[in-house]
Amino acid sequence: MHIPDGLIPAQVCAAGYAITGLTTWYSLRQINRKPDPTAEIPKASLLTAAFFVASSIYVPVPPVSVHLILNGLLGVVLGYFAFPAILIGLFFQALMLGHGGLTTLGVNAAMMGIPALVAYHLFNLRQGLGQVLPDRVALGGFAFLGGAVGLGLSTLIFLVLVITTIPAGFDVDTERQVVLTLSLAHVPLMAIEGAFTAMLVLFLHRVKPELLEG
């Protein structure tokens, strides 16, 4: 789901860098408000590596195959650390794996990082249901939603960006059909990432709950 170099106009790439710059600044500002901003760096580093590796794990969804993203997982577990973690992971994916590109790094970071922050805030809504649902049910349910929604929003942004900026000279109808098919293939992947996020969060809650604090 990475947008490669040359697929979208230069002005969209520039806007992507502007949005990514502002969101990175805001995320770092929120991180610096923590009592110890450096305490979660080891956890963020580990999940940045997991995000980097996830792009090489392909899931066959005929007639195409898709790969894991895990941006919702990063949002749920890392909070505001998720955006810089995703930005760094995408940078190394572009350099080392050829996924995405440097001109589209800002667009890809915004496309995957902002939904991760949405997943984080969605996961935090569980705190208001403590008196209604059992703790583990709320924890697992909202973790599932965070993992699924993170990927779902990224897929929707990808679909809108690519379909509305198809370069001149391309067969528009064919390209739209291909992009739509690729986007729909991510629907079952949303369930997979949601389930994986829920299982990991419940496991961390049982063995090391402090990793989910904040």
CATH of the domain at 176: 1.10.1760.20
| Higher pLDDT among residues 59 and 193, named by residue | 193
Q: What is the pTM of this model?
A: 0.89
Percentage of the chain lying above the pLDDT 90 cut: 50
Q: Is 4 contained in some domain?
A: no
Q: Is 85 contained in some domain?
A: yes
Q: Is 5 contained in some domain?
A: no
Range scoring the smallest mean pLDDT among 63-72, 73-82, 100-109, 120-129: 63-72
The token pair at 140 is 């697992």
65 CB contacts (<8 Å, ≥6 apart)? 58, 59, 185
189 pLDDT more than 60: yes
3-state secondary structure of 101: coil
214 pLDDT more than 60: no
**Closest by CA position to 201, among listed 47, 81, 112, 76:** 76
Q: How many domains does the chain have?
A: 1
Range of the domain at 177: 10-212
